[in-house]
Structure 1
C-alpha cells in the first residue's frame, strides 16, 4: 500500500555503499558530513596514487580513523583499486585479514583518477577468479571508454560488451554495478537471478541531463556517469522505491573544490554527503513509498555484502523546510553541496 501522511520514520542507521573521502585536508573536512548520519561506507580507492595493495588500504584506513570527529561511530569499508598488475594473493590476504571488503574496477580513463584502471580484462581474470572463490565482491564503474561511443550510451554498451561476457567467464563472482543511470542497467539487474546488485546515487534520482545542460552548463551537476534522459531517472526512482533487495544506496558523494569544478575542463563529481538523507526522504515521500527508504538505505546493502544490519537507528521527521550549507569549507578551498532544486522538508532529528 502507498504511504500516506507519514511524518516520522525511524530506520536502522544507513550505510553508504559508494563514497569518496579523498585524503589530507579534504578528508578532514568531508568525513564528518558522512559520519553524522551513516554507520559504514564503502570507500573508493582512486587516490593519487591509487590504493592498490592491502598495505596501502590499511594505511588509508588508519588515516580515515585518525580524521574521525570526536565521538564518531563509523566503519570505513576499504576497497582495492584493480589494475592489470594486481596480485591475486594480495587480494586474498586483504580479504581474509579483514583489510578490504571489495575490489574496485575502473575501466582505464572512465572517471576521476582512473588512468591506472583496466584495459585488457583477460589480464585481471586470475584476480576475479580468486575473488569468486573467496566471496569478495567486485564494484564496477560500468562504462566503456571508447571515444567513438556516445557518452550517453556508454553504460548500456558496457553491459553488452564487457559485463555479460565477464559474468559468463566468472559466473560465481559477486558484482555491484555502481551508480547505475539507465533503464538498461535497471532491467539487466532485475533479469539476473544471482550475484548481481546495483547502487543508485542520490543525485541520479533527482537530476536529468537537462539539469546539466539546459539554460547554460551547470558544473555542479556534472558527474560521471553523466545524468541521462528523465525516462532513465524515473526508472531509477522506481527501482529504488520498489524494495527490491538488489538495489541499494551508494551516494558516490565526490567532493572537489570549486576552483576545480568551475574551469574549462571541470572535474566530474557531486558532493551529496551533507543532505543525502533529506533528499532521499523527499524522493521516497513523493513516490508515496517512504517506508521503503529503510530497505534502500539500511537493509539491502548489508544483505548483499553479508554484513549485519546496524543496531543503531536514525529518525527522520517531516516539517518546515530544513536548510543546509551551500558549501563546506576545506583548507584547500570550498566544496559546493548538492542543491536538489526543491525544498527539503525531511530532516534527521535523532
Structure 2
C-alpha cells in the first residue's frame, strides 16, 4: 500500500464557527484543510434572515487569514416565525445553501427552535419547491424519552411523518449516531442524505463515562453503544452516496466544558483528516475516503466538486493539544491513541 494518498480537497457539511474572538481563532483550523463548509446558524441571537446570513458571512470572510482560501456555505435557523419568501430570496441570491431545523432545546443555542411543526409547514413547502435542503438535528426533546433514544424516536415520530407529508423536500440527517439512523438514511432515496461526524466514528458512550466523566467527549447527540459506532463506521467507509462528512466541530472553551453543567461538543476541525485516514485504513477502505469527504456532499447539495487536492502522508502528525482563543483555551479532540497519517499539503 502507498504511503501517500491524494484526494479532491474535502468539504465539511456541518461546522460551528461561533463569532467574534472564537471565530477568528478557529476558522483557520478548518480553512487549512477544507475548501468549504456548511456554517451552523445557532449564534446568539440566531441567524434567521437572509440579511443576517449575509452579515455573518462578511464577518467570517473578514476573519479569514490572508493567503487562505475558504468558502462559507450559509444556512438559516428555522423558527416558527420564519418567512418563506425571505428564505426563497436568500436562496435565489446564491447566499443560503440550507435551512437548519433545531427542535427547541435539543442542543447548544437551540432555544429558538421549533416546537410546533405545523407552524413551519409553509416554509418546508417553499423549500421543497425551490430545492433548498433542510438540515435536521434529529432528536426529540421530550422529558419522557431517554437521551440515548432521542434519535430513534425523532426518526419515527417527526422525520418520517414530515418526509411523507413533503416527499419532495431534500433532507440531511445531521450527525447520525445509531444503526437505526444508518438504516433509515440508506433506505431514504435521492432526497435523503446523512452526515457523520469524525468523533462518532471513534468514541462510544464508554469513552464519556468509564473511569470518570470525560467532558471533552461529551457531545450532542451523545455517543451511543459500540454496536452503533460500528454501524456508523460501516456506513462512512462504504462509499455509498448517502453518507458524507459533517464534523459538527464545536468549539467551547475548557472553562465551559469542565464544569458541573458543561457544554456539549467536540472540537475536531484541527485533526479530522488525519483521524479519518486512520479510521478508513483500519477498516480497509482508504479508496473510499474521497467519496466520504469530497464527492458525496457536493453531489447531494448540487454543487461542483472542488478543483484543488489534499495529500495525506503516512507519518505521525503534530497537532496542538489546545487552540488559544480570545475567550480561553479550546481542547482539540484526542482519540486516545497515536495518529499515523499527516496532511502533507492542501
TM range (shorter): over 0.9
Structure 2 residue aligned with 1:211, among 207, 213, 238?
Answer: 207
Structure 2 residue aligned with 1:114, among 94, 107, 110?
Answer: 110
Structure 1 residue aligned with 2:230, among 231, 234, 241?
Answer: 234
Residue 98 (structure 1) aligned with residue 103 (structure 2): no
Paired position in structure 2 for 1:70: 66
Matches within 5 A, 1:126-145: 126-145=122-141
> CA offset at residue 194 of structure 1?
2.4
Paired position in structure 2 for 1:274: 270
Separation of aligned partners in 1, 2:286 and 2:149: 32
Residue 337 (structure 1) aligned with residue 332 (structure 2): yes
Which secondary structure state, in structure 1, belongs to the residue aligned with residue 96 of structure 2? coil
Separation of aligned partners in 1, 2:137 and 2:106: 8
Paired position in structure 2 for 1:222: 218
Separation of aligned partners in 1, 2:344 and 2:300: 28
Q: Runs of at least 4 residues of structure 1 off by over 6 A? A: none
Residue 42 (structure 1) aligned with residue 44 (structure 2): no
Which secondary structure state, in structure 1, belongs to the residue aligned with residue 247 of structure 2? coil
> CA offset at residue 63 of structure 1?
0.0
Matches within 5 A, 1:168-317: 168-317=164-313
> CA offset at residue 98 of structure 1?
1.1
> CA offset at residue 6 of structure 1?
3.2
Matched residues, number = 345
Structure 1 residue aligned with 2:323, among 325, 328, 336?
Answer: 328
Which secondary structure state, in structure 2, belongs to the residue aligned with residue 101 of structure 1? strand
> CA offset at residue 324 of structure 1?
1.0
Q: CA RMSD in A?
A: 0.5
Gaps of 5+ in 1: none
Residue 349 (structure 1) aligned with residue 312 (structure 2): no
Which secondary structure state, in structure 2, belongs to the residue aligned with residue 42 of structure 1? strand
Which secondary structure state, in structure 2, belongs to the residue aligned with residue 349 of structure 1? strand
Structure 2 residue aligned with 1:30, among 26, 30, 42?
Answer: 26
Gaps of 5+ in 2: none
